[in-house]
Amino acid sequence: MSLFITFEGPDGSGKTTQARMLADYLESQGHPVLCTREPGGTEISEQVRQVILSTHNKSMRNETEVLLYSAARAQIVAELIRPALAQGKLVICDRYYDSTFAYQGYGLGVDLNLLRAITQFATGGLVPDLTFYVDVPVELGLTRRHRSETNRLDLKNIEYHTRVRNGYLELVKAEPDRFIIIDGSGPVEQVQEQIRARMITELAERRMT
Ligand code: TYD
């Protein structure tokens, strides 16, 4: 039985580390796992990622940004995620369309209904079974980030990141059955402990243990 799990959260929430740790744990339990990320995950999507995140592209229009994220998504869904689910794998994806709603919708003010239509087109309606939303206060997230290379999106201001986080909280409220809120402010192991405990419950409910 397959399961599509996504990780979401503001920048610096630590969800990338958490997604990887959960994937390793599930593999150690004998589950077939595919762990991937957005934007990226396939050769074409990684090329699109370069364009989106390049600091050279400061003049990028919001419309362009939405379409590029969605283009990368269309490719990873068709090329990687759907086939893995068809093989009965547990698919873990670091970010998915909720990021578009939080960042481009709530963050940049792009119309949410428009994003729904574009997302439907890009994904063919593939909805995650479960979404871990790793929450951290905006200031903590921003101070935690220590990337070697600053990308274009890091240059955005704190008001933007606050809108993104509040947007996530709206999304969680609208779909409480799909989202699991995780407090990401503690130490890595403690956060992973919460995620693992919830995952074990979810697998048991689906008789997948
Ligand atoms: P990344 O370096 O992967 O950041 P993180 O480790 O925080 O996930 O860059 C992804 C950036 O792209 C991140 O700032 C969120 C943003 N993003 C969007 O704005 N919209 C989207 O649809 C997706 C998938 C990501």
Cα-Cα-Cα-Cα dihedral sign, residues 154, 158, 162, 167: negative
Instruction: Enter the pTM of the model.
Output: 0.95
Q: How far is CA 52 from CA 3, 29, 60, 61, 149, in A?
A: 29, 36, 8, 11, 14
The SS3 call for residue 40 is coil
Query: pLDDT per position in the chain (209 positions), as tens?
Result: 899 999 999 999 999 999 999 999 999 999 999 999 999 999 999 999 999 999 999 999 999 999 999 999 999 999 999 999 999 999 999 999 999 999 999 999 999 999 999 999 999 999 999 999 999 999 899 888 755 456 666 667 889 999 999 999 999 999 999 999 999 999 999 999 999 999 999 999 999 98
What is the CA(107)–ligand 1 centre distance, in A?
12
**Bridge partners (DSSP) listed for residue 8:** 133
Q: Which domain holds residue 132?
A: 3-208
Strands (E), 51-176: 90-94, 130-135
* Token representation of residue 146: 């220590």
Mutate which of 45, 57, 81, 103 for ligand 1? The one with the most ligand atoms within 8 Å of its CB, which is 103
Contact predicate 3/90, CB 8 Å: yes
The enclosing domain of 158 has a CATH number of: 3.40.50.300
Domain count along the chain? 1
